[in-house]
């Protein structure tokens, strides 16, 4: 009977498409997975993996196509419906409530009851049993989630999912927050589940995990399902090629010849919490250094640390030879360091959406347009006009709310705001995310112009093509460290993807890597 089950797919998608405000997340995807199998889903950032699992878990609904689970067609409108059909997801962003206890969280959606009141003893016993199943006996079911470490929280998240008796368990980067000891435990649990006939979808950016655990692999790229194959049918190099494909060609400005540059921004052994584990890096004047790697390897934290946002940063940072980690953005932007950060989320950290375009442009450099305590109207008007002209921001009136602009023009406002402070170091956190191709190309040109005027630029991007096209050097981060640096012609997609997955490739000979024609 087990065999019969294993042969027929448990969950099957056919012709599934999903668009988010016009942008393709998934298109025409046919995909199936079985019970009693650990099935890896591979793909670059933005390949559509998260959308796929969100559709299966009932978080988002597909625009077209069908989802069949155990022979019945379903259209889940909420996660609890998917759970009822046997599909349970362990989300990357934790779904735990920090102020409730471990036992409360594990049984949150269907607690054991007596006389219709929650039976706390039964609930605690249930939590004990589930925690024991994942070998986390040391977690006290009465402890509050907020008092647990990230790794333990992730384990509680797994226990919570197991409590729903999943037939198909989706693990979305479920191991990324775990300590190595917990990772081993989870491997064991997953193997047991597989033997019991549970199906698993495993999304991980760690290639060696996929190799160790999974029996089937599927590659996604640009919202499409490229190929599914059994483990061992493809080499790592082939898998990497499948993930990259051959796609969009961007127009990038010409890079200057490589020069040996004196470091302007120098970072040595930077550490913070467990997210930065000894980053060393330098950026010279007039140089664009890219930060590569998969999402969440410490790139954002590195930029925030350099901008003075994080508390308790250890290590050495010098700008123009003078030292010290800045202690606040106010300090970072002023004084000798003159650092600017274009943040990750322009809507919350970059702009004050209801305020006018003009106010947003001036907000970081009021000191430059003030007379004593008063803002000088004439000076500020001139500064706004100059900034708008420099970045060719398309707008009606500078007094309109910045929220009325398109995404690309909003991003230009963020960048123009920082250019008004005359920065010597620009930190860019994925500045082209969600903006149109034309504006992207303007930004590439602008970056090169700034570099030519001696600005040191540190540029984090999730798009490999950008790193290749824009950067003089690229440092790839993995697990809070810089694992490899490439420069010049050695910056290729294969090299970047392999380094991002922390694979050491047998054919790693940079001299032979020609840019594909």
Q: Closer CB to another protein, residue 34 or residue 417?
A: 417
CA torsion through residues 403, 406, 411, 415, sign: negative
The answer to whether 102 and 145 are in contact (CB under 8 A) is yes
- With CB under 8 A as the contact rule, the residue among 312, 354, 372, 516 that binds another protein is 312
Query: Is residue 150 a contact point for another protein (CB under 8 A)?
Result: no
Min dist CB 100 to another protein, Å, is 6
For residue 473, give the DSSP letter. E
- With CB under 8 A as the contact rule, the residue among 309, 369, 435, 497 that binds another protein is 309
Q: Closer CB to another protein, residue 30 or residue 110?
A: 110
Query: Is residue 116 a contact point for another protein (CB under 8 A)?
Result: yes
Residue 476 corresponds to which tokens in the numbers above? 């790839």
Length reported for the chain: 517
The answer to whether 79 and 89 are in contact (CB under 8 A) is yes
Query: Is residue 79 a contact point for another protein (CB under 8 A)?
Result: yes
Binding mask 272-291 for another protein (x = CB under 8 A): xx------------------
Cα distance between residue 219 and residue 240, in whole Å: 9
CA torsion through residues 90, 96, 100, 102, sign: positive
Query: Is residue 100 a contact point for another protein (CB under 8 A)?
Result: yes
Cα distance between residue 477 and residue 456, in whole Å: 19
Q: How many Cβ atoms sit within 10 Å of the Cβ of residue 140? A: 16
Min dist CB 376 to another protein, Å, is 29
Cα distance between residue 473 and residue 485, in whole Å: 7
| Nearest residue to 457 (alpha-carbon basis) of 359, 340, 302 | 340
Q: Closer CB to another protein, residue 104 or residue 493?
A: 104
Q: Closer CB to another protein, residue 8 or residue 78?
A: 78
Residues in 256-275 that interact with another protein by CB under 8 A: 272-273
For residue 514, give the DSSP letter. P
Q: Closer CB to another protein, residue 14 or residue 151?
A: 151
- With CB under 8 A as the contact rule, the residue among 2, 23, 97, 191 that binds another protein is 97
Q: Which spans in 229-271 are helix H? A: 236-244
The answer to whether 463 and 434 are in contact (CB under 8 A) is no
- With CB under 8 A as the contact rule, the residue among 2, 118, 212, 259 that binds another protein is 118
Number of residues that bind another protein (CB under 8 A): 40
Q: Closer CB to another protein, residue 147 or residue 436?
A: 147
**DSSP symbols for 74-94:** E--SSHHHHHHTTEEEE-SS-
- With CB under 8 A as the contact rule, the residue among 64, 328, 377, 504 that binds another protein is 328
Q: Closer CB to another protein, residue 208 or residue 311?
A: 311
Q: By CB under 8 A, name the binding residues for another protein.
A: 59, 78-80, 83, 91, 94-100, 104, 108-109, 111, 113, 116-118, 120, 135, 137-138, 140, 142-144, 147, 181, 272-273, 304, 309-312, 328, 349
């Amino acid at each position: 009977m087990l065999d019969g089950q294993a042969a027929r797919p448990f969950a099957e998608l056919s012709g599934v498409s999903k668009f988010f405000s016009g942008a393709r997340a998934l298109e025409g995807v046919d995909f199936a997975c079985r019970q009693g199998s650990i099935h890896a889903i591979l793909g670059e950032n933005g390949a559509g993996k998260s959308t796929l699992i969100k559709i299966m878990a009932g978080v988002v609904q597909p625009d077209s196509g069908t989802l069949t689970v155990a022979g019945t067609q379903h259209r889940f409108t909420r996660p609890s419906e998917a759970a009822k059909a046997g599909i349970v997801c362990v989300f990357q962003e934790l779904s735990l409530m920090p102020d409730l206890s471990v036992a409360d969280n594990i049984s949150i959606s269907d607690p054991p009851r007596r006389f219709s009141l929650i039976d706390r003893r039964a609930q605690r016993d249930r939590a004990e049993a589930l925690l024991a199943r994942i070998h986390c006996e040391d977690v006290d079911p009465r402890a509050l989630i907020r008092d647990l470490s990230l790794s333990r929280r992730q384990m509680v998240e797994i226990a919570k999912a197991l409590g729903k008796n999943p037939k198909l368990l989706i693990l979305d980067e479920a191991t990324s927050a775990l300590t190595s000891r917990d990772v081993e435990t989870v491997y064991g649990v997953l193997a047991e589940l597989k033997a019991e006939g549970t199906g698993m979808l495993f999304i991980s950016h760690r290639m060696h995990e996929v190799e160790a655990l999974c029996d089937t692999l599927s590659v996604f790229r640009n919202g499409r399902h490229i190929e599914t194959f059994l483990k061992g049918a493809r080499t790592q190099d082939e898998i990497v090629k499948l993930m990259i494909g051959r796609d969009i060609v961007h127009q990038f400005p010409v890079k200057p010849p490589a020069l040996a540059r004196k470091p302007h921004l120098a970072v040595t052994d930077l550490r913070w919490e467990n997210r930065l584990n000894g980053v060393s890096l330098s950026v010279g004047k007039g140089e664009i250094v890219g930060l590569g790697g998969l999402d969440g390897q410490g790139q954002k934290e590195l930029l925030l640390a350099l901008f003075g946002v994080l508390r308790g940063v250890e290590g050495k940072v010098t700008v123009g030879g003078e030292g010290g980690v800045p202690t606040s953005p106010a300090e970072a932007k002023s004084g000798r360091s003159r650092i600017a950060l274009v943040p990750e989320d322009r809507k919350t950290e970059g702009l004050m959406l209801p305020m006018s375009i003009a106010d947003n442009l001036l907000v970081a450099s009021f000191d430059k347009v003030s007379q004593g305590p008063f803002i000088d109207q004439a000076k500020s008007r001139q500064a706004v006009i100059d900034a708008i002209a420099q970045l060719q921001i398309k707008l009606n009136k500078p007094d309109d709310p910045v929220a009325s602009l398109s995404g690309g023009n909003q991003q230009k406002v963020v960048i123009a705001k920082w250019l008004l402070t005359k920065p010597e170091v620009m930190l860019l956190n994925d500045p082209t995310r969600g903006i149109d191709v034309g504006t992207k190309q303007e930004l590439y040109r602008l970056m090169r112009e700034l570099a030519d005027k001696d600005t040191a630029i540190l540029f984090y991007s999730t798009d490999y093509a950008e790193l290749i096209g824009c950067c003089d050097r690229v440092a790839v981060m993995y697990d809070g460290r810089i694992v490899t640096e490439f420069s010049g012609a050695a910056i290729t997609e294969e090299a970047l993807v392999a380094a991002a997955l922390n694979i050491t490739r047998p054919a790693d000979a940079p001299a032979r890597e020609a840019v594909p024609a």
